Chains A and B, each alone.
Chain A
Amino acid sequence: MTAGQHARFRLDEVIHAPVRFSIVAALAQADEAEFAAVRDVVQVSDSTLSKQVTILEAAGYVTVKKGYVGKRPRTWLRLSSVGRDALDEHLSALRAIAEGRPAGDPMTREQALAMRGSYAIDVLPPDVSPVDHA
């Protein structure tokens, strides 16, 4: 990022879409997951998930493996290292925006102290309840 450039320019265009963000965030916690498990967590239809996974696969962010468990066909999804790096960068940009550091400047001591503890709760502005986003 160029010095002084707004953090929104670092947001990843592929990951920024809400459904794709949810897919990538869910896969970040796992080695791999079945297509159906991701579908249930993200709460989308098979066709929607399939379409979004195709986009993520084309970007090199997700790898798709097809196989069988017994006689039943199964599809497993995995976040690639490229996808993991892209997510980390995207989350870093989101943090900078949420913390009010749009230019990605280092936090002041006061900001760092305010950030201690649970990040997800602490970064919420006073008018936003964490429950609304759970």
Chain B
Amino acid sequence: MNQQITPAEAAAALTRAATARVVSAADVRALTAYLVGLGAGVAGVLAGSWWMLSHENVVGFAAVMGGYGLVLALLIGIQRRARSTPRGFKRIYMWGFGATMALYVIGVMWFSFTRPGPSAAAFLPYSLLVALPAWIAAMLVRRAAR
């Protein structure tokens, strides 16, 4: 191949490449909102389940799970608005979501298999900790899109 190209044309092409952006601010907002909401939702369902089951309120527990289902449906709707994902999104998402879900499972096992169950002073901060990986993932997605 023998392409004729001047230094100015090469520089212009490099500038075009450096400024090409398919990931929009709206895409990043949708993806970060999804991750922040997911973390909050999982933390909420863990704390709610613990509270309802420790008070033997099965109806309340069902309401918590139903509410989580609705929140999840809403979040998926928000996430689908994103028309593109920044480079590294899948890896960041898998890490954040995976870690949050792993902490959730540990939390469920904690209040299910320990007698007496955990105190509110211990379990509510732990529920917040469950949300943390998803929230960190949201920050990393925002940074990846810069």
- Which residues in A have some Cβ–Cβ distance to B below 8 Å? 8-9, 11, 13, 16, 21-22, 25-34, 36-38, 41, 69-70, 87, 91, 94-95, 97-100, 119-120, 123-125, 127-128, 130, 132-134
A-side contacts of B20, CB under 8 Å? 22, 25-26, 28-29, 41
Q: Does B124 contact A (CB under 8 A)?
A: no
- Which residues in B have some Cβ–Cβ distance to A below 8 Å? 1-8, 10-24, 27, 80, 83-90
Q: Check B2 against A9 for contact (C-beta < 8 Å).
A: yes
Report which residue of A29, A30, A34, A99 has the largest number of chain B beta carbons within 10 angstroms of its beta carbon.
A30
Q: Chain A binding site: helix, strand, loop or mixed by DSSP?
A: helix
CB distance from B17 to the nearest CB of A (A): 4
For A101, the closest partner residue in chain B by CB is B7
Q: CA–CA, A58 to B13, complex, Å? A: 23
Q: CA–CA, A87 to B24, complex, Å? A: 22
Q: Check B3 against A30 for contact (C-beta < 8 Å).
A: no
A-side contacts of B21, CB under 8 Å? 26, 29, 41
Q: CA–CA, A13 to B2, complex, Å? A: 9
Q: Check B22 against A37 for contact (C-beta < 8 Å).
A: yes
Q: Check B7 against A119 for contact (C-beta < 8 Å).
A: no
8 contacts between A and B (CB under 8 A): A8-B1, A28-B17, A29-B23, A30-B23, A32-B84, A99-B7, A124-B15, A130-B15
